[in-house]
């Protein structure tokens, strides 16, 4: 699969830390599976991963703590 951004790099399976800014603080999701371009470094999430991230962000939106750090594998 070729990169959608630079068009010439090869996209490989990798892991990424996802940062989300919430109204009350930040949500950091570690070890999120993604596809990363070997050339430009751009990373992409699959549709199911994107949906899971949105679910987690919605669940933590009203969380009172400033910064929440969770592990994707434990949350999924």
Can you give the binding site for Zn ion, defined by CB under 5 A? 3, 5-6, 9, 37, 39-40, 42
User: Min. distance of Cβ 69 from Zn ion in angstroms?
Assistant: 28
User: Min. distance of Cβ 40 from Zn ion in angstroms?
Assistant: 3
Of the pair 38, 65, the CB lying nearest Zn ion is at 38
User: Min. distance of Cβ 16 from Zn ion in angstroms?
Assistant: 14
d(CA 44, CA 38): 12
State whether residue 27 is helix, strand or coil: strand
């Amino acid at each position: 699969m070729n990169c959608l951004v630079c068009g010439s790099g090869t996209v490989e399976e990798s892991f990424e830390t996802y940062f989300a800014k919430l109204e009350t603080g930040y949500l950091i999701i570690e070890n999120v599976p993604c596809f990363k371009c070997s050339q430009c470094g751009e990373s992409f999430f699959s549709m199911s991963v994107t949906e899971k991230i949105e679910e987690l962000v919605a669940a933590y939106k009203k969380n009172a703590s400033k910064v929440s750090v969770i592990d994707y594998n434990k949350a999924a």
